[in-house]
Amino acid sequence: MSAALPPLIQQYKADSESVYNTWFINNEERLKAFRSIRRGVQQVVKDIKAGSFGNDFKGTSLEFVLSVISEQKQVFQGAAHPFYWKPKLRIPDIYEHEENKRAFGQFLESCLAATTEQQLLKEIDLLDRRKIKGLGPAVASILYFLHPTLMPPFNTAIVNGFNALFGEKIKLGSWSEYLRMRDRLRDLNQEHRQHLSLDYGALSGLLFDVGVKKMIAGDQQFASDEDRDKYQQQARKRHQEVQTEAQEENQHTEMQHHLLRVGKALGCDVTTAINDRNRICAGQKLSFLCLDQHPELPVSAEVATTIRLIDVVWFAPGTNRVVAAFEVEKSTSIYSGILRLTDLAFSMPEHETALYLVVPDAREKEVQAQLSRPAIRAAGATIRYILFSELRQHCEALCKFGHSPEALLKIARAVNH
């Protein structure tokens, strides 16, 4: 099948609704997820060390990590399911069993610190030897976001695609099976990397599309008319999802455009997320409103990378002092946007930056709930929110009559604790 893979890869890359084009390439939310998930895993380790992790999946820092992963398009839907606490089965046994919980925390801490394939394989072997009930290679979805060039994700659709393409019988639930699949994928990625990427996300997306029969490969056939009908229903659903995502992207760009215009009118230098500069709204490219590049900031390279992915940032004119920062939310995790804003605030406390979430009206209750979380309140950063409809309605007035960045407080809302 290896010889037949290049044509399939070209078909995959040419399909505008493939995972490659809807998730892997030029996807700002995907890039943001890596940082949010790493931060989330660090918090899981801290909570386990402090004895505050809890005895259920709900409400834990692990739930946040898996929610961000699950939002990463179709590939990771259902990624959280293996981690739900199932009381009758007592699985996965990392909530009530303290030694297993600590072993899981140590595994995550070691994987965060790992820099080589050998280190990761050693940690997988150590975890596998513990035979923690209900905790298997579903963890590989977390590992992928920590080390995307070393560890592919592992789920039902990806395994089905792999087996269909290569005539294998890889099974879920076994680390040895995962590693056997990974060895094959490593060789394939090396052989075809000029068409794919060192990042396993590209190849995993191809396996996913084959696994859900969005793409038919080789001798793969529909088992029945009912199977074909299900495929066609799924194709229609996928098309609708892509259309909805396109509408959300347009709204997202519109809000960035409003914020850039208002910021400039209020006398600020403005920038947008580095991957959004080529977006166009009302016939105007966002880069034409922005500084040519982000000012140098007195922060680490890792934090600077995070800040460059914030949707809109206002600076005091001619300086690198951050006046205001905005995260525009669509259907993705509001909590991950909060993390990026607090990252900025805590990295440069002397800037006294105003922090804002810009959210669809329908998500107002959700944003209020997130800003009321004890962990957010304890962090001490003040984050306000602005509704899409309010920004849209008052943009022109703010541009015309506003005199300073504080004018935005007229339409911003706060959560009272």
User: For residue range 72-105, what is the model confidence (pLDDT) as tens digits?
Assistant: 877 898 899 999 999 999 999 999 999 999 999 9
On the question of pLDDT at 2 being above 60, the answer is no
Question: Is CATH 3.40.91 what the domain over 246-410 is classified as, yes or no?
Answer: yes
266 vs 196: CA distance, rounded Å: 45
> What pLDDT score was predicted for residue 261?
96
54 vs 59: CA distance, rounded Å: 8
> What pLDDT score was predicted for residue 234?
64
User: For residue range 259-284, what is the model confidence (pLDDT) as tens digits?
Assistant: 999 999 999 999 998 888 889 998 99
User: For residue range 191-249, what is the model confidence (pLDDT) as tens digits?
Assistant: 888 899 999 999 999 999 998 888 876 555 555 667 667 666 766 776 677 777 778 88
> What pLDDT score was predicted for residue 186?
94
Asked if omega into 92 is within 30° of 0 (cis), the reply is: yes
User: For residue range 312-330, what is the model confidence (pLDDT) as tens digits?
Assistant: 999 999 999 999 999 998 7
pTM: 0.76
> What pLDDT score was predicted for residue 253?
94
Mean pLDDT, rounded, for 105-116 = 97
* Lowest-confidence pick of 135-139, 213-217, 289-293, 392-396: 213-217
Mean pLDDT, rounded, for 27-45 = 87
On the question of pLDDT at 297 being above 90, the answer is no
Domain ranges across the chain:
2-211, 246-410
Task: Give the closest residue to 77 by CA, choosing from 239, 248, 212.
Answer: 212
> Which residue is listed with tokens 């409400």?
59
* Length of the chain, in residues: 417
> What pLDDT score was predicted for residue 221?
56
- 179 or 228, which is more confident: 179
17 vs 162: CA distance, rounded Å: 20
204 vs 138: CA distance, rounded Å: 14
Mean pLDDT, rounded, for 332-356 = 83
